[in-house]
Amino acid sequence: MAETADVIIIGAGVHGASLAFHLAQRGLTVIVLEKRFVAAGATGRSSGLVRMHYDTEVDSRLAWESFRYFRNWKELVGGDCGFTRTGFIQIVAREHADALRANVVMQQRLGIPSFIISAEDVQRLAPSFVTDDFDIAAYEPESGFAMPGDTALALITAARAIGARLLQDCAVTGVQTAGGRVTGVETTRGAFSAPVVVNAAGAWAGQLNKLAGLELPYDTWRHDTMFVKRPTGIGQSHPTVIDFPKELYFRPEGGLTLVGLEDGNPLGESPDGDADHAKPGFVERAIERICERIPLMEQGGLHSAHGGYDGITPDQHPMLGLAGLDGFYLDCGFSGTGFKISPAVGLCVAELILDGTAKTVDISTLSPLRFAQGKLVSGAYQNIWH
Ligand SMILES: Cc1cc2nc3c(=O)[nH]c(=O)nc-3n(C[C@H](O)[C@H](O)[C@H](O)COP(=O)(O)OP(=O)(O)OC[C@H]3O[C@@H](n4cnc5c(N)ncnc54)[C@H](O)[C@@H]3O)c2cc1C
- Which residue has the CA at smallest separation from atom 25 of ligand 1? 13
Query: In sequence order, which residues have a C-beta less than 8 Å from that of residue 234 and are 6 or more positions away?
Result: 128, 257, 294, 296, 297
Q: Pick the atom of ligand 1 nearest to 336's CA.
A: 15
**Does ligand 1 come within 6 angstroms of the Cβ of 87?**
no
- Which residue has the CA at smallest separation from atom 53 of ligand 1? 308
**Does ligand 1 come within 6 angstroms of the Cβ of 337?**
yes
Query: In sequence order, which residues have a C-beta less than 8 Å from that of residue 264 and are 6 or more positions away?
Result: 279, 282, 285
Q: Pick the atom of ligand 1 nearest to 18's CA.
A: 25
Tell me the residue length of the chain.
386
- Residue 225's closest CA among 70, 10, 48? 48
Give strand ranges (E) for 110-266. Answer: 115-118, 136-140, 144-145, 165-167, 172-178, 181-187, 190-193, 196-199, 219-229, 240-243, 248-253, 256-261
**Does ligand 1 come within 6 angstroms of the Cβ of 308?**
yes
The per-residue pLDDT for 125 is 97
Residue 213's Cβ-count burial label (10 Å; 0-12, 13-18, 19+) is exposed
The per-residue pLDDT for 373 is 95
Q: What's the CA gap between 226 and 256, in Å, rounded?
A: 10
- Enclosing H/E stretch for 373: helix 370-373
**Does ligand 1 come within 6 angstroms of the Cβ of 318?**
no
The per-residue pLDDT for 380 is 82
Q: What's the CA gap between 24 and 154, in Å, rounded?
A: 14
Judge contact between 249 and 49, C-beta under 8 A: yes
Give strand ranges (E) for 254-368. Answer: 256-261, 301-312, 319-322, 328-332
Q: Pick the atom of ligand 1 nearest to 310's CA.
A: 53
Judge contact between 165 and 69, C-beta under 8 A: no
**Does ligand 1 come within 6 angstroms of the Cβ of 18?**
no
**Does ligand 1 come within 6 angstroms of the Cβ of 310?**
yes
- Residue 134's closest CA among 100, 90, 93? 93
Calculate how far, in angstroms, residue 201's C-alpha sits from the geometric centre of ligand 1.
8
Q: What's the CA gap between 18 and 22, in Å, rounded?
A: 6
pTM above 0.75, yes or no: yes
Judge contact between 313 and 50, C-beta under 8 A: no
List of the chain residues with pLDDT < 50: none
Identify any residues that bridge with 304 across adjacent strands, giving them in sequence order. 227
The per-residue pLDDT for 93 is 95
Q: Within 13 A of 226's CA, how many CA atoms are on the CB side? A: 24
Q: What's the CA gap between 187 and 359, in Å, rounded?
A: 33
Q: How far is CA 72 from the centre of its chain?
A: 19
Calculate how far, in angstroms, residue 7's C-alpha sits from the geometric centre of ligand 1.
20
Q: Is 340 helix (H, G, I), strand (E, B) or coil?
A: helix
The per-residue pLDDT for 1 is 73
